């Protein structure tokens, strides 16, 4: 087998699995509307990291880096959006109301 082919298969599998790894989290968040286990800071950092990987890939002219990280950025941004969206509401769909103690 050609070494470049094997390298391309490994890279493609890594890209597909990286993007797919977000799917279970997104599905669970949509089904349960429970985002309490999702760290806002972690996903904000993740989105930033993927944006930097895209910039790095663009500087190198490396389309596989750009494309795979663009998909991963999209998926992590969806998680971040759902965290923000469902943090605004409780499970019943009513707007959350924060009360201050006197």
pLDDT tens digits, 35-87: 999 999 999 999 999 999 999 999 999 999 999 999 999 999 999 999 999 99
* CATH number of the domain where residue 72 is located: 1.20.1280.290
Task: Enter the pTM of the model.
Answer: 0.78
Q: 13 lies in a domain?
A: yes
Q: How many domains does the chain have?
A: 1
Q: 93 lies in a domain?
A: no
Q: 28 lies in a domain?
A: yes
Q: 70 lies in a domain?
A: yes
- Contacts with 57 (C-beta within 8 Å, 6 or more apart), sequence order: 63, 64, 65, 66, 69
Q: 96 lies in a domain?
A: no
Q: 50 lies in a domain?
A: yes
Q: Do the Cβ atoms of 34 and 91 come closer than 8 Å?
A: yes
Q: Do the Cβ atoms of 79 and 25 come closer than 8 Å?
A: yes
Q: Phi first, then psi: give them for residue 38, nearest 5 degrees.
A: -100, 125
Higher pLDDT, 74 or 98: 74
Q: Is the pLDDT of residue 99 over 80?
A: no
Q: 76 lies in a domain?
A: yes
Q: For residue 94, what pLDDT is reported?
A: 54
Q: For residue 39, what pLDDT is reported?
A: 93
Q: 94 lies in a domain?
A: no
List, as own/partner pairs, every contact residues 50-59 make where C-beta atoms lie below 8 angstroms and the sequence separation is at least 24, other chains included.
50/76
Q: What residues make up the domain containing 70?
A: 3-87
Say how far apart CA 61 and CA 54 lie, in whole Å.
10
Q: Is the pLDDT of residue 90 over 50?
A: yes
Q: Is the pLDDT of residue 9 over 70?
A: yes
């Amino acid at each position: 087998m050609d070494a470049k082919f094997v390298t391309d298969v490994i890279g493609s599998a890594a890209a597909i699995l990286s993007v797919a790894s977000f799917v279970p989290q997104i599905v669970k968040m949509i089904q349960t509307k429970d985002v309490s286990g999702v760290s806002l800071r972690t996903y904000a950092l993740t989105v930033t990291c993927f944006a930097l990987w895209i910039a790095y890939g663009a500087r190198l002219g490396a389309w596989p880096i750009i494309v795979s990280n663009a998909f991963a950025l999209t998926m992590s941004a969806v998680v971040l959006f759902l965290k923000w969206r469902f943090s605004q509401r409780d499970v019943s769909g009513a707007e959350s109301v924060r009360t201050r103690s006197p």
